[in-house]
A and B are shown apart, each in its own frame.
Chain A
Amino acid sequence: MLGTVRPLAGLSLVAACAVALTACGSSGGSADGSPAPSGSAALAGQTITVYSGQHEQTVKALTEDFTKRTGIKVELRSGDEAELANQILQEGAASPADVFYAENPPALTVLGDKGLLAPAAADTLKSVPTADSSAKGDWVGISARTSAFLAATGKGADTAPPASVLDLAKPEWKGRLGIAPGETDFAPVVTQVVKAKGEDAAKQWLKGLKDNAKVYDSNEDLSTAINSGEVEGGVIDHYYFYRMRDEKGAAATHATLHYFPKGDPGALVDVSGAAVLKNGKHQAAAQAFLGYLASAPAQTVIAGSESYEYPLVADVKGKPELPALDGIGAVADPAQLGDGKQALSLLQDAGLLQ
């Protein structure tokens, strides 16, 4: 079996290694190639289990880099974020997971509400903007993506993007729109509309979407449908466009990405986050991993990867083709997004989901 650390010894190590890792982070570029943080020496050789709902290729690059720096080994369990969250809920205190790395805040909020998450180390929380992490401090924001409008191009006239995500409920979009309401990425947009316009207006908006849109299972399906001209446009996270362009090649990409204006509920910046599980057996090593994810070296890996996400640490730049994050909008408040249940029941009442 895997080695375990006595709880007390573990706790005393948390602070030390978190500090060490944050130090790496704040020193920027010079962090690369720096020796392993001194506090984590005692943790080297331990193995932590990470449940990850994030893009596997990127997370693999992250865990390998982390192991090289700290000597802590990582067992990576990649899966669908919702399935993994349900799995942890079933496992309860017996979960083998030390860290949960989710795509969206609601998956983390659900586990936090059930008391399954441990507080993140203060220094880890400090390395990203406060708004990007949970207010309770039980998970930390790692990367961001923005919702945007993907419009079909090429076949006939190019589709003019809507001025606001709210316009998509107008009759002029009837039969031209696609949405993927079952994606965990779409619920936050619904929540933003509720926040901006109130619940009744949000219901009306969803009713309009129901009349106008073809419903797709996933953002992958929706992007493909827009690219093939089946529908003229739809709301997706920005990175689906870039990943599709990489796969199909620029010549076979018949769509352009438009960002909603700042302040619009559609101009939503949503974060992915990670948390240490309270019942995990390797608390110190897990905190060290969280600290690493929020450090400059890890954020540089994320920024350069094929997952096209935005890093959250101040000095690390995203891919050159991505517009600056602060020009798009504020990060959606995780507390507002909640556990996603309100968005779900609104989508169900509108008949967009079962």
Chain B
Amino acid sequence: MTFPVRAHGPSPLRRWRAAGLLAPVAVAVVAVVASPLGFVVAEAAQAGWDQTRRLLGRPLIATLLWHTVSLAAAVTLATAVLGFGAAYLVERTALPGRRAWTVALALPLAVPEFVRGYSWVSLFRSVHGYWGAVLVMTCSLYPLVFLPVAAALRGGDAAAEEVSRSLGRGRLATLWRVTLPLTRPALAGGVLLVSLYLLGEYGAFAMLRYTTFATAVFTQYKLGFDAASASLLTLVLVALALLLVGLDAWAGRHARVTRHGAVARSAPPVRLGRWTVPALAGLTTLVGVSLGVPVYALGYWLIKGSSTTLPSASVLGATLATLGYALGAALVATAAAVPVALYAWRRGTRPARAVERVAYLTRALPGIAVALSVVHFSVRYARPLYQQPPMLVAGYVVLFFPLALTAVRAALAQVPPGVEEAARSLGTRPLAVLGRVTLPLVLPGLGAAVAMVGLTASTELTATLLLRPTGTQTLATQFWVYTSGLAYGAAAPYAALMVALSVPSVLLLTRRTLGRPGKNS
């Protein structure tokens, strides 16, 4: 380390050094989080040609492909419309109680996947199959679109919209031609997460009796104990994910929105007039359906289940373990996402963007494939850490890195590059610019990344069962122990605690994503 000299203008050598550090760090991070892809390819390669033909040649494959693609298309479209619509209503209109709505609309994120699946299936036996899956997945995933779009709307400069209105363009035309393009990167990021997630989701579809490639992968592991066949099927998911990431890249080619001014102004809210009542009714339905159903089901089992007992002493231990692992994973994933996002976003070169996109692919892998790959690598290359707390944290980081990356990327997009350039031209070295200018500006965004990963990790089950230290219980594993013994009453307190623990994260998330209340009004 050399003593920092305040030179006038960075020397070419220093510029090179900082640049040289960022790329390898980013590439190393992505190599680690994308290692499950390598595992899947290596396992699939063990299947012979005959096995491949038998497995992929079945007529059922076409059905599964159609199920997977049609479901992903419908849910992605529905979450895009609902997420954008809700974000527009709370950010750009004079809707009553906008701040309360923002929190309520984000809260479904606090409900764990398997709790949601179970509560729907136990209350409404008719909710299953394609439409059931569309309904339940839309309800649980729309916040992934809502939050980034709302953040983009709040953080983005409304000047363009004002100009459009003042030039006589109608409200709808402005919405379509100006507001929508402004939020395109946020919308695209959210939609990409939703669609990739749908490719890999297993538990909810199994409960809703809807078969996709991910459920087929799970069957191969479960009944065939056959990693090679399962990995072959997983490769189809990877191919679909590549297609989605490519689509995203293509759609995002011309959609790079950067803010030019350092201060954003918000537009005066659009008055809804006679649309106020339908808008409120729509939001009430959305929140009621996505939050009300799981809350009701939990309440039912807390009261009605015969196995309901006062939560035992293990609840405290499970809660602390859950909190510790989730927080650890959230911090590590966020820290790891910073260099990757910086590299991809600031460098913007083709290879830099490619590195970033690879990181998203793991999101499409079924949880069991990711978990087994972490088992595979850690048993071989990190033996002393296997089934120790750091490995569970590492597993979460691998699983949820894309969530952190999206949040950090969104935060970076809100920093006008001019600010950094100005700092650099004043003679600050690149690393110092990062530390003193960029990071403080993206800190709120990092909070969102921490909350997002923490939230998701605290309810994770598959990888937790495989990677946790022997003897450790989290809230999710305890919930699983009881539900698999049909003791729903005993399971309910653990599910309720998971939801309760997630609420602060959601509050943090809405606040961090959207800025402090009142800042823009």
Measured CB to CB, the residues of A under 8 A from B are: 49, 55-57, 75-80, 82-83, 85-87, 89-92, 94-96, 106-107, 110, 182, 184, 187, 214-218, 220-221, 223-225, 228, 230, 240, 243-244, 246-249, 306-307, 339-341, 343-344, 347-348, 351, 353-354
Whole-angstrom distance from the CB of A343 to the nearest CB of chain B?
7
Choose the segment among B96-104, B203-211, B442-450 that binds chain A (4+ C-beta atoms closer than 8 Å). B203-211
Inter-chain contact B223/A182, CB cutoff 8 Å: yes
Whole-angstrom distance from the CB of A169 to the nearest CB of chain B?
20
Residue B58 lies at the interface, judged by CB distance under 8 Å to chain A? yes
Q: Across the interface, which residues of A come within 8 angstroms of B372, CB to CB?
A: 86-87, 90
Choose the segment among B75-83, B333-341, B484-492 that binds chain A (4+ C-beta atoms closer than 8 Å). B484-492
Inter-chain contact A79/B465, CB cutoff 8 Å: yes
Choose the segment among B153-161, B378-386, B502-510 that binds chain A (4+ C-beta atoms closer than 8 Å). B378-386
Inter-chain contact A221/B471, CB cutoff 8 Å: no
Inter-chain contact B222/A184, CB cutoff 8 Å: yes
Whole-angstrom distance from the CB of A15 to the nearest CB of chain B?
28
Inter-chain contact A92/B368, CB cutoff 8 Å: no
Whole-angstrom distance from the CB of A63 to the nearest CB of chain B?
11
Inter-chain contact A215/B209, CB cutoff 8 Å: yes
Further pairs besides A182-B223, A247-B487: 17, Cβ < 8 Å: A57-B485, A76-B471, A77-B471, A82-B221, A82-B222, A83-B221, A91-B375, A94-B379, A96-B387, A96-B470, A107-B225, A182-B206, A247-B306, A340-B225, A344-B219, A351-B60, A353-B223
Residue B178 lies at the interface, judged by CB distance under 8 Å to chain A? no
Set A95, A228, A240: member contacting B125, Cβ < 8 A: A228
Q: Across the interface, which residues of A come within 8 angstroms of B223, CB to CB?
A: 82, 182, 184, 187, 340, 343-344, 347, 353
Inter-chain contact A83/B368, CB cutoff 8 Å: yes
Q: Across the interface, which residues of B come within 8 angstroms of A78, CB to CB?
A: 477, 481
A192 to B466 alpha-carbon distance, docked (Å): 32
A340 to B226 alpha-carbon distance, docked (Å): 11
Inter-chain contact B227/A217, CB cutoff 8 Å: no
Inter-chain contact B465/A80, CB cutoff 8 Å: yes
Of all A-B residue pairs in the complex, the 6 with the closest CB atoms, nearest first, are A354-B216, A82-B222, A217-B206, A243-B486, A75-B470, A77-B470
A150 to B473 alpha-carbon distance, docked (Å): 33
Given contacts A76-B471, A214-B209, contact A182 B386 (CB under 8 A): no
Q: Chain B: interface secondary structure?
A: helix
Residue B376 lies at the interface, judged by CB distance under 8 Å to chain A? yes
A214 to B125 alpha-carbon distance, docked (Å): 12
Inter-chain contact A247/B488, CB cutoff 8 Å: yes
Q: Across the interface, which residues of A come within 8 angstroms of B465, CB to CB?
A: 79-80, 83
Inter-chain contact B224/A340, CB cutoff 8 Å: yes
Residue B284 lies at the interface, judged by CB distance under 8 Å to chain A? no
Whole-angstrom distance from the CB of A307 to the nearest CB of chain B?
8
A217 to B225 alpha-carbon distance, docked (Å): 18
A294 to B352 alpha-carbon distance, docked (Å): 60
**Tally of contacts, chain A with chain B, CB under 8 A:** 125
A89 to B368 alpha-carbon distance, docked (Å): 14
Whole-angstrom distance from the CB of A306 to the nearest CB of chain B?
8
Whole-angstrom distance from the CB of A30 to the nearest CB of chain B?
32
Q: Chain A: interface secondary structure?
A: helix
Q: Which of B159-218 contact A (CB under 8 A)?
A: 206-207, 209, 211, 213, 215-216
Measured CB to CB, the residues of B under 8 A from A are: 58, 60, 64, 121-122, 125, 206-207, 209, 211, 213, 215-216, 219, 221-227, 305-307, 368, 372, 375-376, 379-380, 383, 386-387, 462, 465-466, 470-471, 477, 481, 483-489
Inter-chain contact A83/B462, CB cutoff 8 Å: yes
The residue in A80, A243, A244, A339 that gathers the most chain B C-beta atoms within 10 A of its C-beta is A80
Inter-chain contact A217/B209, CB cutoff 8 Å: yes
A347 to B220 alpha-carbon distance, docked (Å): 12
Q: Across the interface, which residues of A come within 8 angstroms of B489, CB to CB?
A: 247
Set B122, B211, B386, B487: member contacting A354, Cβ < 8 A: B211
Given contacts A56-B481, A244-B486, contact A85 B122 (CB under 8 A): no
Q: Across the interface, which residues of B come within 8 angstroms of A354, CB to CB?
A: 60, 64, 211, 213, 215-216, 219
A215 to B207 alpha-carbon distance, docked (Å): 10
Nearest residue (CB) in A for B372 is: A90
Q: Across the interface, which residues of A come within 8 angstroms of B221, CB to CB?
A: 82-83, 86
Q: Across the interface, which residues of A come within 8 angstroms of B383, CB to CB?
A: 94
Nearest residue (CB) in A for B122 is: A224
Q: Across the interface, which residues of B come within 8 angstroms of A80, CB to CB?
A: 222, 465, 484
A83 to B203 alpha-carbon distance, docked (Å): 14
Nearest residue (CB) in B for A94 is: B379
A353 to B213 alpha-carbon distance, docked (Å): 11
Whole-angstrom distance from the CB of B508 to the nearest CB of chain A?
32
Inter-chain contact A225/B125, CB cutoff 8 Å: yes
Q: Across the interface, which residues of A come within 8 angstroms of B60, CB to CB?
A: 348, 351, 354
Q: Across the interface, which residues of A come within 8 angstroms of B486, CB to CB?
A: 220, 223, 240, 243-244, 246-247
Set B64, B375, B470: member contacting A76, Cβ < 8 A: B470
Inter-chain contact B379/A90, CB cutoff 8 Å: yes
A307 to B484 alpha-carbon distance, docked (Å): 11
Q: Across the interface, which residues of A come within 8 angstroms of B64, CB to CB?
A: 354
Whole-angstrom distance from the CB of B494 to the nearest CB of chain A?
13
The residue in A55, A79, A217, A354 that gathers the most chain B C-beta atoms within 10 A of its C-beta is A354
Whole-angstrom distance from the CB of B482 to the nearest CB of chain A?
9
Given contacts A221-B121, A246-B307, A247-B489, contact A89 B484 (CB under 8 A): no
Nearest residue (CB) in A for B217 is: A354
Given contacts A77-B471, A83-B465, A184-B222, contact A216 B125 (CB under 8 A): no
Q: Across the interface, which residues of B come within 8 angstroms of A90, CB to CB?
A: 227, 372, 375-376, 379
Whole-angstrom distance from the CB of B414 to the nearest CB of chain A?
41
Whole-angstrom distance from the CB of B40 to the nearest CB of chain A?
13
A326 to B222 alpha-carbon distance, docked (Å): 30
A86 to B221 alpha-carbon distance, docked (Å): 7
The residue in B222, B466, B483, B484 that gathers the most chain A C-beta atoms within 10 A of its C-beta is B222
Inter-chain contact A248/B470, CB cutoff 8 Å: no
Q: Across the interface, which residues of B come within 8 angstroms of A228, CB to CB?
A: 125
Nearest residue (CB) in A for B215 is: A354
Nearest residue (CB) in B for A80 is: B465
Nearest residue (CB) in A for B376 is: A90
11 A-B pairs with CB atoms under 8 Å apart are A77-B471, A79-B466, A86-B368, A90-B375, A182-B222, A215-B209, A220-B486, A221-B207, A247-B487, A247-B489, A348-B60
Inter-chain contact B375/A55, CB cutoff 8 Å: no
Inter-chain contact B466/A249, CB cutoff 8 Å: no
Q: Across the interface, which residues of B come within 8 angstroms of A82, CB to CB?
A: 221-223, 225
Nearest residue (CB) in A for B117 is: A217
Whole-angstrom distance from the CB of B114 to the nearest CB of chain A?
11
